[in-house]
Structure 1
Amino acid sequence: MYVEREQDVLRAASMYYLQDLKMEVIARHLGTSRSTVSRLIKRAREAGLVEITLRPASTRAPGLGRSIASAFGIDTYVVPVPDSASHIERLDQVSMTGAKLLSSWFDSNMVLGVAWGTTLAAVSRFLSPKPTRGSHVVQLNGAANMRTSGIEYASDLISSFGTAFGAAVHHFSVPAFFDYSDTKAAMWRERSVRRVLDMQRRADIAVFSVGAVAGAVPSHVYAAGYLDDADVRVLHDEGVVGDVCTVFLRADGSWQDVPLNERATGPTPVELQRIARRVCVVAGDNKVAPLLAALRAGVVTDLVVDEITATGLLDAVEPMHVHRRTRAHA
Structure 2
Amino acid sequence: MTVDMYNQSAFLVIKIAYMYYMENYSQNEIAKALQISVTTVSRMLKKAKQEKIVEFVIRDPYVECISLEKKLKDTFGLKDVIIAPGLAVEAEDGNYLSDEESAKKLVALEGARYLQRIIKKNDVLGVTWGSTIYRLINYLNPAQKVDAAFVTLHGSIACCRNELDVRTLVLRMAKAFSGTHYYLLTEALMSSKKAADIIKQEKNNKKVFQMFENINISISGTGSFYPELNSVLAKQEFMSKEELGWLQEQSVVGDIALRFFDKEGKECKTEIADRMIAIDFEQFKKIDTKITIASGGYKAHTVLSALKGKLIDVLIIDYQLGQRIMELYRAETTE
Distance 1:148 1:291 in 2: 22
Distance 1:272 1:213 in 2: 20
Counterpart mapping for 1:75-224 below 5 A: 75=79, 76-82=81-87, 86-145=99-158, 153-213=165-225, 218-223=230-235
Are the aligned partners of 1:144 and 1:174 in contact in 2 as well (CA < 8 Å)?
Answer: no
Distance 2:229 2:319 in 1: 18
Alpha-carbon displacement from aligned partner over 1:231-272 (angstroms, at most 9, x marks no partner): 222222221111001101111112152332222222233111
Compared CA separation, residues 220 and 256, structure 1 to 2 (3 A): closer
The aligned counterpart of 1:71 is 75
Q: Does 1:292 align with 2:304?
A: yes
SS at 2:113's partner residue?
helix
Compared CA separation, residues 283 and 86, structure 1 to 2 (3 A): same
Choose the corresponding residue for 1:242, options 240, 244, 254.
254
Alpha-carbon displacement from aligned partner over 1:77-96 (angstroms, at most 9, x marks no partner): 22221599611111111110
Are the aligned partners of 1:269 and 1:297 in contact in 2 as well (CA < 8 Å)?
Answer: no
Distance 2:322 2:146 in 1: 36
Structure 1 spans left out of the alignment, 5+ residues: 1-5, 10-47, 324-330
Are the aligned partners of 2:107 and 2:295 in contact in 1 as well (CA < 8 Å)?
Answer: yes
Are the aligned partners of 1:99 and 1:127 in contact in 2 as well (CA < 8 Å)?
Answer: yes
Shift of 1:159: 1.5
SS at 1:243's partner residue?
strand
Which amino acid is 1:203 matched to? Answer: I
Larger Rg: 1
Structure 1-normalised TM-score?
0.75
Distance 1:60 1:194 in 2: 47
Which amino acid is 1:86 matched to? Answer: D
Structure 2 spans left out of the alignment, 5+ residues: 1-10, 15-51, 90-97
For structure 1, which segment, 231-240 or 156-165, has the greater mean C-alpha deviation from structure 2 after superposition? 231-240
SS at 2:116's partner residue?
helix
Q: Does 1:310 align with 2:314?
A: no
Distance 1:317 1:298 in 2: 15
Shift of 1:65: 1.4
Distance 2:333 2:161 in 1: 45
Are the aligned partners of 2:257 and 2:278 in contact in 1 as well (CA < 8 Å)?
Answer: yes
Choose the corresponding residue for 2:290, options 269, 278, 284.
278
Compared CA separation, residues 269 and 299, structure 1 to 2 (3 A): farther
Shift of 1:223: 4.7
The aligned counterpart of 1:251 is 263
Distance 2:112 2:160 in 1: 28
Alpha-carbon displacement from aligned partner over 1:175-215 (angstroms, at most 9, x marks no partner): 22111122112222222211111222211211011111257
Compared CA separation, residues 231 and 149, structure 1 to 2 (3 A): farther
SS at 2:286's partner residue?
coil
Shift of 1:144: 3.9
Alpha-carbon displacement from aligned partner over 1:44-96 (angstroms, at most 9, x marks no partner): xxxx9676756344752122211111221103222221599611111111110
Compared CA separation, residues 150 and 160, structure 1 to 2 (3 A): closer
Shift of 1:107: 2.0
Distance 2:228 2:140 in 1: 27
Which amino acid is 1:238 matched to? Answer: Q
Between the two proteins, the alignment pairs up a number of residues equal to 278
The aligned counterpart of 1:264 is 276
Shift of 1:133: 4.9
Distance 1:268 1:79 in 2: 31
